[in-house]
Amino acid sequence: MRIATRIGLLLVSICFVAPSMAGDDPWEKMIKARKAEMQLRAFNAAPLFQMAKGKMDYDAKLASMLAGNLKLMLSLENGRAWQKGTDNEAYPGKTTALPKIWTTLPEIAEYDLRYNLAVNNVAKEAGNGLDALKTAIGPLGKTCKDCHDEFREKE
């Protein structure tokens, strides 16, 4: 099952990223790849949040799989998509990433560390019952929100 999940995740990623590679501007390709990564994160995290909030029935197998997908995504090296000059000032309307991301390296690295720790904890706990998921998912939501509040254009 884990191999099938990995292959499925890879195929979904290719579906999101492949069309973005058709443009001429390499910077826009980076933005599209970055947005695809965030969409894939949201696609896997949203049902976990819904389960924790009681808006979706808890399913241990599904929760474990979704959390595993988030953990698997941590192993992808997507640093090329986060290049200086791909912010909302350089590409208005194409990204909500603030230029501040590239000028606060120690701070942004702390957000990444917190996200990684939260994902690993959710992956460990998601299949262990609704109470375990509820306990683990809070820090994940907080780290996502905190980073978006700090480094994403307000909508």
Q: Domain residue spans in the chain?
A: 2-151
CATH 3.40.50.620 for domain 2-151, yes or no, is: no
pLDDT computed for residue 11 by the predictor: 52
Quote the CA–CA distance of 141 and 110 in Å, as a whole number: 15
Q: What is the pLDDT of residue 92?
A: 96
Q: Give the model's pLDDT for residue 155.
A: 78
Between CA 22 and CA 28 the distance in angstroms is 10
pLDDT at 24: 83
Structure tokens that stand for 8 in this block = 């499925």
Query: Cβ distance 120 to 152 under 8 Å?
Result: no
Give residue 80's pLDDT. 92
What one-character-per-residue DSSP string does 27-40 give? HHHHHHHHHHHHHH
Residue 15 CB contacts under 8 Å (≥ 6 apart), including other chains: none
The tens place of each residue's pLDDT in the chain, 155 residues long, gives 566 666 655 555 565 555 555 558 999 999 999 999 999 999 999 999 999 999 999 999 999 999 999 999 999 999 999 999 999 999 999 999 999 999 998 889 999 999 999 999 999 999 999 999 999 999 999 999 999 999 999 97
**What is the reported pLDDT for 41?**
97
> Residue 105 has what pLDDT?
83
Q: Are 129 and 64 in contact (CB under 8 A)?
A: no
Strands (E), the chain: none
Q: Residue 61: in which H helix or E strand, if any?
A: helix 60-74
Amino acid at 106: P
| Residue 55, token pair as written in the block | 């808006």
The confidence score (pLDDT) of residue 106 equals: 86
CA distances from 117 to 71, 74, 81, 123, 139 (A): 10, 10, 22, 10, 9
27, two tokens: 């910077």
